[in-house]
Amino acid sequence: MDKGLSYKKVRKHKSLVESIVEDLQSKIIKGQLKPGQRMVEAELCGKMGISRSPLREAFRLLESQGFLAHEPRKGMHVSVVSMEELENIYVIRANLESLATNLAVNNGDSHILEELKKLHREMILAAEEGDLGAYHRLNLKFHEVLTAASRNRRLTELIETFVKQTNRYRVVVFSTPGKLQASIQNHENLIRSFEKGDAKEAERVRKEAILNNIAVLREHFRQEESED
């Protein structure tokens, strides 16, 4: 019962579903929920003291973020991906997102630049408070805004597909010492390039930022394998 109450006494600005999502994200990232492990609704509802409705909504969000996967007749489980597959996804993402960044800067929309600056300020505050969940959500929004500014719908749709497959690993990256600060610096560099109208520089910054995360993820996979 006490566990259930802890979920219901969430902060005013945070919904029950968001709290469930953050809790399950954390357990997946820390390895408390293993790749391939089934998510049994009745068991989770009992442990959390919640009903099925918010849990199912949390499942849908986690599936869209790439943390969970659903299979017919098997139900929901923690998604499984190999390092080789993940590296291929990151390489594709790096090239697609850097192209979108180039197009966005060339379009030179001042309203987009102001929105990016606003999100950047909010991310700095989240980092100072040590709120990785908030930072992760703001970071996704930052790059969604930047990608949409490319004004290329097909490119945006492609990027969304690959972003969903790597969302869970972005939080792993942010949890790595020094990476949160590096992310903030990358955003500052992107904004500066946008202000100067330097599309090539912005493209380079975005591509390098994504590709640099591959080494972090290799180490994460290595540690997971050594613990098995």
What's 44's domain CATH number? 1.10.10.10
CATH number of domain containing 103 = 1.20.120.530
Count CA atoms within 13 Å of residue 172 on its CB side: 21
Instruction: Select from 72, 75, 61, 74 the least CA-distant residue to 25.
Output: 61
72 and 113 belong to one structural domain? no
pLDDT given for residue 15 in this prediction: 86
Q: Which tokens go with 14?
A: 């945070």
209 and 167 belong to one structural domain? yes
Distance CA(34)–CA(31), nearest Å, equals 5
Task: Kindly report, residue by residue over 79-106, the tens digit of the pLDDT.
Answer: 888 899 999 999 999 999 999 999 999 9
pLDDT given for residue 151 in this prediction: 97
20 and 69 belong to one structural domain? yes
112 and 170 belong to one structural domain? yes
Q: Where among 16, 49, 78 does a domain terminate?
A: 78
Torsion angle of the four alpha carbons 144, 103, 112, 143, in this order, in degrees rounded to the nearest 10? 20
193 and 218 belong to one structural domain? yes
Strands 68-71 and 75-78: antiparallel
106 and 186 belong to one structural domain? yes
Task: Kindly report, residue by residue over 160-192, the tens digit of the pLDDT.
Answer: 888 888 877 888 898 899 999 999 999 999 999
**In this structure, how many other beta carbons lie within 10 angstroms of the beta carbon of residue 221?**
18
Q: Where among 62, 78, 94 does a domain terminate?
A: 78
24 and 99 belong to one structural domain? no
Residue-number span of the structural domain to which 96 is assigned? 83-227
165 and 88 belong to one structural domain? yes
Q: Could you tell me how far CA 14 lies from the centroid of its own chain?
A: 18
Burial of 92 by CB count in 10 Å (0-12 exposed, 13-18 middle, 19+ buried)?
middle
13 and 116 belong to one structural domain? no
Tokens 């980092």 found at: 127
Q: Where among 52, 78, 104 does a domain terminate?
A: 78
Burial 128-159 (b: 16+ CB within 10 A, else e): eeeebbbbbbbbeebbebbbebbebeebbebb
114 and 170 belong to one structural domain? yes
Distance CA(213)–CA(9), nearest Å, equals 36
Q: Is 142 helix (H, G, I), strand (E, B) or coil?
A: helix
60 and 172 belong to one structural domain? no
The CA angle 80-81-84, to the nearest 5 degrees, is 160
143 and 33 belong to one structural domain? no
Distance CA(177)–CA(69), nearest Å, equals 29
Per the document, the length of the chain is 228
What predicted TM-score, i.e. pTM, was given to this entire model? 0.75
Residue ranges of the chain whose pLDDT lies below 50: 1-5, 10-13
Number of structural domains (the chain) is: 2
